[in-house]
Structure 1
Amino acid sequence: MSYLDFILNPLISLDPNPSNPIFTIFIIATLIALFIVVLQKVLIDYDKMHELQAEMKQLQAEMRAANQSGDPKALAKVQKKQAELMPKNMELMKMQMKPTFITMIPILIIYYGMIGNYALSHVVINITASQYYLLLIPIWNIFWTQSNPLTINFFGWYILASFAMSFLFRRIFNIQTM
Structure 2
Amino acid sequence: MLEGIYAFLDSLFGPFITGYHPMWVITVAGAIIGGTYTLIYYFFTDIEKQRHMQKLAKELQKEMREAQKSGDEKRIKKVQKKQMELMKMQSELMQQQMVPMLLTLPIFWIFFGWLRRWYVEVGIVKAPFNFFLFDWFHKWQHSALPPDQLGYVGWYFLTSYAVGMILRKFLNMG
Shorter-chain TM range is 0.7 to 0.9
Check conservation: 2:121, 2:151, Cα contact below 8 A. yes
User: Aligned in 2, Cα 1:94/1:142: closer, same or farther, shift over 3 Å?
Assistant: farther
1:39, 1:99 within 8 Å by CA — same for their partners in 2? yes
- Aligned-pair identity (%): 28
> Which stretches in structure 2 are left out of the alignment for 5+ residues?
none
Match of 1:169 in 2: 167
Q: Quote how far apart the aligned CAs of 1:59 are.
A: 0.9
Superposed counterparts of 1:24-63, under 5 Å: 24-63=25-64
Letter in 2 for 1:60: Q
User: How do 1:144-159 residues align onto structure 2 when only pairs under 5 Å count?
Assistant: 144=138, 145=143, 147-159=145-157
1:29-85 deviation per Cα after TM superposition (whole angstroms, max 9, x unaligned)? 221111111111101111111111111111111111111111111112112222222
Structure 1 runs (4+) greater than 6 angstroms displaced = none
**Gap change, CA 1:5 and 1:158, over 3 Å in 2:** farther
- After TM superposition, the score normalised by the length of structure 2 is 0.81
Aligned mates of 1:110, 1:124 — CA distance in 2: 18
AA aligned opposite 2:161: F
Following superposition, the deviation at residue 14 of structure 1 comes to 2.7
Post-superposition Cα deviations, 1:90-149, rounded to whole Å, max 9, x if no partner, equal 11222233312221122111111211x2x333432352435x5xxxx3235444555421
Q: What is aligned with 1:139?
A: 133
Q: Measured at CA, do residues 70 and 38 of structure 1 come closer, stay the same or move farther in structure 2, by a change above 3 Å?
A: same
RMSD: 2.5
In 2, the alpha carbon distance for the partners of 1:70 and 1:150 equals: 55
Give the structure 2 partner of residue 8 of structure 1: 10
Match of 1:65 in 2: 66
Letter in 2 for 1:161: T
Distance 2:81 2:16 in 1: 61
The structure with the greater share of residues assigned to helix is 2
Assess, with a 3 A threshold, how the Cα gap between structure 1 residues 91 and 107 changes in structure 2: closer, same or farther. Answer: same
Output aligned runs, 1:90-129, within 5 Å.
90-115=91-116, 117=117, 119-129=118-128
Aligned length, in residue pairs: 168
Distance 1:15 1:109 in 2: 17
User: Secondary structure at the residue paired with 2:107?
Assistant: helix
Q: 1:129 to 1:22 in 2, by over 3 A?
A: closer
Normalising by structure 1, report the TM-score. 0.80
Unaligned runs of at least 5 residues, structure 1? none
User: Corresponding residue for 1:84?
Assistant: 85
CA distance 1:143–1:15, shift in 2 (3 Å): same
Change in CA separation of 1:160 and 1:38 when aligned onto 2, cut-off 3 Å: same
